[in-house]
Structure 1
């Protein structure tokens, strides 16, 4: 997995010249929030034992400035995450 804690993780960095900016919208704060969220996901997947090489995450900001994380997952990783979610749901219902 590209390390979301590194500058420019994923295949693209935030390119200020490639987007239309609206005055008063804090896109950088949204992008930073997305970058932090992607790092949290990477850490959680590692703790859960899911192979991070099947995950690519790219931080972005929406038109309103909200943080957005674009994920690209291998099919094997999707299956691992699905199994983890099912296991958690079963555990949660039992408790």
Structure 2
């Protein structure tokens, strides 16, 4: 699985016809914002011990130009992230 810095092209040329591009929408700013958020999430998950091999993240832009972070986890990685979220929720008093 790829980690931070994956540009979403999977080693091939971008398929610019795969989506609808709207004139005047700033997709690059959204992508840049998503790239920064991807780096933050990557750092946080690695700090708590989620292995890079368990996840894949990439920055993208939504149809409206907003930043989108796509996160894929292996089954083991998803269970680990779920456990970490439960621990954090319990510490914050949000567990139900």
Give the Cα–Cα distance (whole angstroms) in 2 for the partners of residues 73 and 56 of structure 1: 6
Q: In structure 1, list runs of 5 or more residues that go unmatched.
A: none
5+ unaligned residues in a row in structure 2: which ranges? none
The answer to whether the 8 A contact 2:34-2:60 is kept is: yes
Question: Which position in structure 1 is the counterpart of 2:9?
Answer: 12
Query: TM-score normalised to the size of structure 1?
Result: 0.81
The alignment of Structure 1 onto Structure 2 pairs a total of residues equal to 91
Q: Give me the whole-angstrom Cα distance separating, in 2, the residues matched to 1:56 and 1:84.
A: 18
TM-score by length of 2: 0.81
Post-superposition shift, 1:16?
7.5
Structure 1 match to 2:54: 54
Q: Structure 1 residues 22, 10: CA separation in 2 closer, same or farther (over 3 Å shift)?
A: closer
Query: By how many angstroms is 1:36 displaced?
Result: 1.1
Kindly report the root-mean-square deviation, in angstroms, between the aligned alpha carbons of the 2 structures: 2.3
How many Å apart are 1:70 and its aligned residue? Answer: 1.3
Contact 2:8–2:59 under 8 Å retained in 1: no
Distance 1:79 1:40 in 2: 20
Query: Could you say which structure has the higher helix fraction?
Result: 1
SS of residue in 1 equivalent to 2:71: strand
1:24 and 1:74 mapped to 2: Cα distance?
37
Q: Which moved more, 1:16-25 or 1:71-80?
A: 16-25
